[in-house]
Amino acid sequence: MARPGPHHIHCIDPRTGAEAGDVACTSLADIPALATRARMAQRSWAALSLAQRKKVVEAWKHTILARAGEVAALLVAEIGKPAAEAWSSEILTAGELFDGWLANIDDLLSPQPVELNPLNYPGKEVVVSAQPRGLIGMIMPWNYPFHLPLRTMVPALLAGNAVIWKPSEHAARVGALLGEIAASVLPADLLITVQGDGEQGVAVIDAGVDRVVFTGSVATGRKVALRAAALGVECSLELGSKDAAIVLKDAPLERTVNGLVWGAFHNAGQDCAAVERVYVERPLYEAFLQKVVETTKSLQPGVDIGPLITLAARSRVEQRIHDAVKAGATLHCGGVPWGEGFGLMPAVLSGVPEDSALMVEETFGPVMPILPFDREEEVVERVNSSPFGLCASVWTKDHRRGLALLDRLDVGSTFLNNCCFTGPMAMAAWSGRRHSGSGVTGSRWSLDGLTMPHTRVIDRSGAAKEMWWYPYTDAFTGMARGLVELGRRGGGKLQGIRLVLSGLLGRWKRSQ
């Protein structure tokens, strides 16, 4: 947690609520000059070969891993993550992220030749290559403050860009550490860290960046998009969700319960991919609910479950639970504070009204509402009616039925008998639908936002004129007609060939 002041971010440990140090805010007046420095550094960086850039980025990876203990300790202290999650979901995945991009970037950035008809385009070669956009602006969240920024930083830098970014004010110390490690390896000013709150975020957008990458809430994402649009800056948004799980009556009970308890409560539910709605086919409903409650009660606060990031965040989740119970839901376990800070025991509810905030709006906390269903058509409609569309999962032993059901869900990522773990994968696309945002991280599709296509034409024909150059002649018109005839379905092939040959002959005679 943090309380931004006029010149400093006052950090608070969410495990205890105690003060945990200050981080200086970046002066708004300095941000344009910082962006200029980053842009100058980018020119030299882009001039290096991809092999040279890969060597530096690989050294960055090894420096991060060498300081992994320091990173993990700070993730525990500033975000309140259990140590197991700090190591697994932030540091281990960061190493895998680097490896994935380093292994694939050569192929992904390789120039692509354009196939040409040698009759139409004799002696010509066309190649499309990817060039860096220039300066990438990033505004990042606090829930995965180390790994999430790297998801964009690593491919952006490999592609030849520079980065200016602002970590969340609730993860300022982790952001500072990530920036410091990068600065110890990367060329000066290639990756610049800006500290502060929303004002500094706006200043990053205004600083002349070539693209903005934002991860965070829907409300803030809309403000970012409007600001970027007003400046003509392209924008990538990764926003919230209300991810659903569908449990069919033949689902393997123990695996499904264990998977969904983790899917709902990891990172204290503070994950856009957390499972926030569970629909269970009625024959399995009672057994599933009983087993989930039993498993949830076994989770240990501080070991399995960390605190929420702020007191306000915990209060919002508590209010959602209270409102659902008031509307007729049953709270089976959890929903009560733990520890000295902002902890909340994981909550399991049944009978939650479908139109309640707990079922419609993103909760971003350790809450699992469980509802029964009877027909596939009914549950598909309930899942797809959400304004969000990030992830969904189906749990069943019948893989054919499960896959057919997944095909009907309108979300960016679907899972059969698992949930919400592909986000860290370098080569798996992570994207959403509707209010979940329009951006892509991971995979070759994310490079579309970090590079621009450049088409190069090389002509080795040596002819004095092209057929389509002036002056226009009957031979040229006839040749064009012939080519159209050859390409037309049901066209006169012999007539087309005659027109093309006649045109070529006429062109040759004119050139003599």
Residues recognised as catalytic: 238, 272
- Please give the angle made by the CA atoms of 211, 212 and 217, to the nearest 5 degrees: 160
- H or E element: which one contains 12? strand 8-12
Tell me which residue of 476, 468, 474, 498 sits closest to 486, measured CA to CA.
498
Q: Helix, strand, or coil here: 436? A: coil
Asked whether 255 and 287 are in contact (CB, 8 A), the reply is no
Asked whether 270 and 147 are in contact (CB, 8 A), the reply is no
Distance between CA atoms of 227 and 89, rounded to whole angstroms?
32
Q: Hey, what are 426's tokens?
A: 């370098």
Could you tell me the end-to-end alpha-carbon distance of the chain, in angstroms, rounded to an integer? Answer: 81
Distance between CA atoms of 392 and 414, rounded to whole angstroms?
5
Distance between CA atoms of 482 and 20, rounded to whole angstroms?
78
Which residues are within 8 A (CB) of 384 and not within 5 positions of it... i.e. 6 or more apart?
Answer: 408, 409, 410
Q: Helix, strand, or coil here: 133? A: coil
Q: Helix, strand, or coil here: 179? A: helix
- Which residues are 372's β-sheet partners? 280
Pairing of strands 388-389, 367-373: unpaired
The three-state DSSP-derived secondary structure of 362-374 is: CCCCCEEEEEEEC
What residue has token string 């500094």? 200
- Which residues are 96's β-sheet partners? none
The three-state DSSP-derived secondary structure of 376-427 is: HHHHHHHHHCCCEECEEEEECCCHHHHHHHHCCCCCCEEEECCCCCCCCCCC
Q: Encode 18-47: b = buried (16+ Cβ within 10 Å), e = exposed.
A: eebeebebbeeeebeebbebbbebbeebee
